[in-house]
């Protein structure tokens, strides 16, 4: 199994039949977006320096596993031109470079942007327009859930709602809640789901997609249900 967030890891997902890939992006000190979850390589390579304080050359000089390296986001767009990407810009500074990169590759219809920051979502929507699929940050997510219960005629500006199975002690994977959110015209995606039993339960509840690190498990679950690969393959450990 290839190390997380490497070209080999994403290639393994694509070769397995996945069309949707998930990753996070950080901006290096010299203004290059790299695809990685953490803000440093300490956990995976023992290097404590933050990505934002390193040049892209310094980041890519560090090996992850057996000769693998952190890819630039543009490398992923180049390597997988037919794939769809779910991307989380991990800093405010990454938003405008990400918008420029999406425009440069002409992939606005192939990306969905999610973030824990509502401000980042608003900024990238302002830069790329209504064609861009986005998932709201915490405030926006709360508004969508509230609207599904109280204002069913509201049309949210989001293509999907990407949420955990549980938040603040409240289960969000209840079938009736999923249906109400979907009636707003918003897909419901759950992250990060890696166990087969939970995948089955969430799909039974009516979820539109699952974001997972365990692509082999999800493939087996979908095959057992007679469905093709359509959920996001998480870049953290495909």
124-159 confidence digits (pLDDT tens): 999 999 999 999 999 999 999 999 999 989 999 999
* pLDDT score at 65: 83
| pLDDT tier, 32 (very low <50, low <70, confident <90, very high otherwise) | very high
Phi first, then psi: what are they for 155, rounded to 5°?
-110, 100
With a cut of 70, say whether residue 181 has pLDDT above it. Answer: yes
CATH number at residue 148: 3.20.20.190
SS3 of 185, please? coil
* pLDDT score at 233: 53
Residue 2 lies in a domain: no
| pTM, 2 dp | 0.93
* pLDDT score at 187: 97
Residue 1 lies in a domain: no
With a cut of 90, say whether residue 66 has pLDDT above it. Answer: no
* Torsion sign, CA atoms 182, 170, 162, 217: negative
Residue 161 lies in a domain: yes
* pLDDT score at 232: 57
Overall size of the chain counted in residues: 238
pLDDT in tens, 218-230: 999 999 999 876 5
State the residue range of the domain holding 135.
Answer: 7-234
- How many domains would you assign to the chain? 1
- H/E stretch holding 74 reads helix 73-79
Look over the chain and give the mean of its residue pLDDT values, rounded to a whole number.
Answer: 94
Distances (CA, A) of 106 to 49, 72, 99, 111: 33, 17, 10, 10
């Amino acid at each position: 199994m290839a190390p997380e967030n490497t070209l080999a890891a994403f290639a393994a997902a694509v070769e397995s039949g996945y069309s949707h890939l998930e990753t996070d992006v950080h901006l290096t000190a010299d203004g290059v977006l790299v695809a990685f979850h953490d803000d440093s390589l300490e956990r995976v390579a023992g290097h404590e320096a933050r990505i934002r304080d390193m040049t892209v050359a310094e980041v890519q000089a560090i090996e992850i596993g057996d000769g693998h390296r952190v890819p630039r986001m543009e490398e992923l767009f180049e390597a997988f031109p037919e794939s769809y990407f779910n991307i989380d810009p991990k800093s405010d500074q990454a938003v405008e470079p990400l918008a420029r990169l999406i425009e440069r590759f002409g992939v606005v219809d192939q990306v969905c942007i999610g973030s824990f920051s509502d401000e980042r979502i608003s900024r990238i929507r302002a830069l790329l327009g209504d064609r861009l699929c986005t998932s709201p940050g915490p405030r926006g997510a709360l508004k969508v859930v509230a609207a599904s219960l109280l204002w069913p005629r509201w049309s949210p500006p989001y293509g999907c709602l990407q949420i955990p199975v549980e938040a603040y002690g409240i289960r969000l994977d209840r079938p009736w809640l999923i249906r109400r959110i979907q009636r707003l015209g918003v897909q419901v995606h759950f992250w990060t789901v890696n166990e087969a039993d939970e995948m089955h339960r969430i799909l039974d509840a009516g979820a539109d997609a699952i974001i997972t690190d365990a692509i082999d498990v999800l493939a087996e679950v979908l095959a057992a249900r007679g469905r093709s690969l359509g959920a996001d393959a998480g870049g953290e450990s495909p």
